[in-house]
């Protein structure tokens, strides 16, 4: 049985205390929200913090407030939503107004892990989820047998031995979707707070995958007004019941009255160390109706963005090809096609 290493546990009741305590020794302290990723990682000695700051007792992090505009803004400042980082994924998927406003976020969140894990797992933890790799998500003894790897305790990347950086895979479902929805996040430290686009929370580096400073807590997701936008999330995984994504497409588009695209965002997940915006695909869509030809061209552009490595489930060439299929189905769904049969086929990987 794998056991947790010893650590000191601190349970603040306010964000202010959490930020102060985290600021005392950020390099040796780790935030834990639901613990569904952090605690298994600690058992495998992938993370070995001396102190844990548990967020579960912080009531102010557990609210979904209609009205966004800017992070920290009041309910009157817009028609979006502010989602506390400590909101569990179960609470999030049960919020009907939020589901109606951003169906893509509902689809992404409801496909995270299992109902039990969603009861514990939070949106903040999902956004900060560690990157994954076949050579890293193993027991300490397994990793020791291969002399570890660059991400923890070793020097070499076994996926690409000449790579100067870790290529572990961004495996969060909600990050690509929130990026496609144009969401922002609020980060709070003892020194102050700042707000940034979800797109800017990430960088393509498997070890330093978030731009969050070690002394900062992610406190809130700010979802802008989604009026006029449609959104969807398509995910490839081995088991339809639960599994991490190994390729995903998050799509959102705003339409005019004639069905032409006014604005679009297409983000490819789980094929790099961060969600990747398919900018060329977005450009191809704007100003156009979603014809089959336009959809095929945009899906091809999304395919070109994907750069999967051989460090997670399935053959990497097939994973890359599947990005085209995921993007096509996502765009057809935004157009209004009935895609229920395609979703069932995807769950069986026969799409
Ligand atoms: C069997 C299994 C299947 C899974 N399947 C999926 C899946 O399909 N898709 C998926 O996306 N995830 C999956 N997960 C991972 C995980 O359950 C979810 O990502 C969950 O949402 C993580 O949230 P948490 O609150 O438990 O995070 P935690 O484990 O508490 O934390 C995760 C990371 O985020 C950091 N963190 C947490 N909250 C904050 C905050 N407010 N500010 C700054 N940093 C923070 C922690 O320090 C840690 O590094 C799976 C896990 C398991 C065990
Ligand atoms: S990509 Fe390389 S460095 Fe990163 S976890 Fe995998 S083997 Fe380790």
For a ligand 2 pocket test, name from 138, 143, 158 the mutation site with the most ligand atoms within 8 angstroms of its C-beta.
158
Cα 199 to Cα 122, 145, 269, distances in angstroms:
19, 37, 12
Q: What is the mean pLDDT of the chain?
A: 95
Question: How would DSSP label each residue in 132-187?
Answer: B-TTTSS-HHHHHHTT-BTTBB-S--SSSTT-SS--PBP--SHHHHHHHTT-EEEE
- Spatial separation of the C-alpha atoms in residues 292 and 243, rounded to whole Å: 31
Long-range CB pairs of 137-146, under 8 A, 24+ apart, other chains included:
137/44, 137/46, 138/44, 139/2, 139/44, 140/2, 140/44, 140/45, 143/44, 143/45
Q: What digits encode the pLDDT tens for the residues 309-330?
A: 999 999 999 999 999 999 999 9
Each residue's pLDDT tens digit, 335-345: 999 999 999 99
Reduced to 3 states (helix: H, G, I; strand: E, B; else coil), residue 301 is: helix
* pLDDT, tens only, 171-220: 999 999 999 999 999 999 999 999 999 999 999 999 999 999 999 999 99
Atom of ligand 2 nearest to the CA of 206: 4
Q: Rounded distance, CA 179 to CA 250, Å? A: 8
Mean local confidence (pLDDT), 154-178:
97
Instruction: Say whether pLDDT at 71 is over 60.
Output: no
In sequence order, the β-bridge partners of residue 269 are: 248
Q: Please name which ligand lies nearest the alpha carbon of 160.
A: 2
Residue pair 305/298 in contact by the 8 Å Cβ criterion? no
Ligand 2 atom with the smallest distance to the CA of 136 is 5
Q: Which atom of ligand 2 is nearest to the CA of 131?
A: 5
Please state whether beta strands 192-197 and 81-84 pair in parallel, antiparallel, or not at all (unpaired): unpaired
More confident residue, 350 or 272: 272
pLDDT of residue 62 exceeding 70: yes
Short-list 196, 232, 230, 236, CA closest to 216: 196
Mean of pLDDT values over 28-52: 98
What's the start-to-end Cα distance of the chain, in Å?
A: 39
282: tokens are 């977005």
- Give the pair of three-digit tokens for residue 337: 């096609």
255-281 residues labelled b (16+ CB within 10 A) or e (exposed)? beeeeebeebbbbbbbbbbbbbbbebb
Coil, strand, or helix at residue 124?
helix
**124 CA → ligand 1 middle, Å:** 8
Residue 69 has what pLDDT? 54
**CA 122 to ligand 1 center in whole angstroms:** 7
277 lines ligand 1 (CB under 6 A): no
Rounded CA separation 207/219 (Å): 22
Question: Ligand 2: residues within 6 Å at CB?
Answer: 133, 135-136, 149-151, 157-159, 166-168, 206, 311
Q: What is the structure's pLDDT at 79?
A: 83
Give the model's confidence band at 68: pLDDT under 50 very low, under 70 low, under 90 confident, else very high.
low
Q: What residues contact residue 33 under an 8 Å CB cut-off, 6+ apart?
A: 54, 55, 56, 85, 86, 121, 122, 124, 125
pLDDT for the residue 72 = 44
Angle at 198 between CA 295 and CA 26, to 5 degrees: 150
The beta-strand segments (E) located in the chain are 8-10, 29-32, 51-54, 64-66, 81-84, 184-189, 192-197, 217-223, 229-236, 247-255, 261-269, 276-277
Ligand nearest to the CA of 308: 2
Task: Please tell me the number of the ligand nearest to residue 136's CA.
Answer: 2
Q: Band of the pLDDT at 77, cuts 50, 70, 90?
A: very low
Residue 349: per-residue pLDDT? 77
State pLDDT tens for residues 226-253.
Answer: 999 999 999 999 998 899 999 999 999 9
129 lines ligand 1 (CB under 6 A): yes
How close is the Cα of 305 to the center of ligand 1, in Å? Answer: 26
What is the structure's pLDDT at 1? 84
């Amino acid at each position: 049985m794998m056991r947790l290493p010893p650590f000191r546990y601190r349970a603040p009741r306010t964000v202010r205390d959490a930020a102060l305590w985290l600021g005392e020794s950020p390099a040796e302290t780790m935030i834990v929200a639901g613990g569904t990723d952090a605690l298994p990682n600690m058992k495998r000695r992938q993370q070995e913090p001396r102190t844990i700051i548990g967020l579960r007792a912080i009531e102010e992090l557990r609210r979904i407030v209609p009205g966004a505009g800017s992070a920290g803004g009041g309910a009157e400042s817009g028609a979006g939503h502010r989602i506390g980082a400590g909101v569990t994924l179960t609470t999030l998927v049960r919020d009907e107004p939020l589901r109606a406003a951003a169906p893509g976020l509902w689809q992404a969140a409801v496909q995270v892990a299992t109902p039990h894990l969603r009861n514990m797992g939070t949106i903040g933890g999902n956004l900060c989820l560690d990157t994954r790799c076949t050579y890293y998500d193993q027991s300490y003894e397994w990793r020791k047998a291969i002399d570890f790897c660059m991400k923890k305790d070793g020097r070499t990347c076994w996926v690409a031995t000449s790579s100067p950086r870790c290529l572990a895979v961004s495996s969060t479902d909600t990050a690509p979707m929130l990026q496609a929805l144009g969401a922002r996040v609020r980060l709070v430290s003892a020194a102050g707070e700042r707000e940034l686009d979800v797109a800017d929370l990430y960088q393509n580096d498997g070890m330093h995958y978030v731009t969050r400073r070690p002394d900062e807590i992610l406190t809130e997701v700010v979802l802008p007004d989604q009026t006029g936008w449609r959104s969807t999330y398509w995910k490839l995984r081995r088991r339809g019941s639960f599994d991490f994504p190994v390729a995903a497409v998050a799509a959102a588009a705003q339409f005019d009255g004639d069905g032409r695209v006014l604005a679009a965002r297409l983000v490819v997940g789980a094929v790099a160390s961060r969600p990747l915006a398919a900018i060329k695909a977005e450009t191809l869509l704007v100003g156009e109706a979603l014809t089959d030809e336009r959809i095929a061209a945009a899906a091809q552009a999304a395919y070109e963005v994907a750069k999967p490595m051989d460090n997670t489930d399935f053959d990497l060439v097939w994973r890359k090809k599947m990005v085209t299929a995921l993007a096509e189905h996502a765009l057809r769904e935004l157009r209004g096609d009935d895609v229920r049969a395609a979703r069932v086929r995807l769950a069986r990987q026969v799409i």
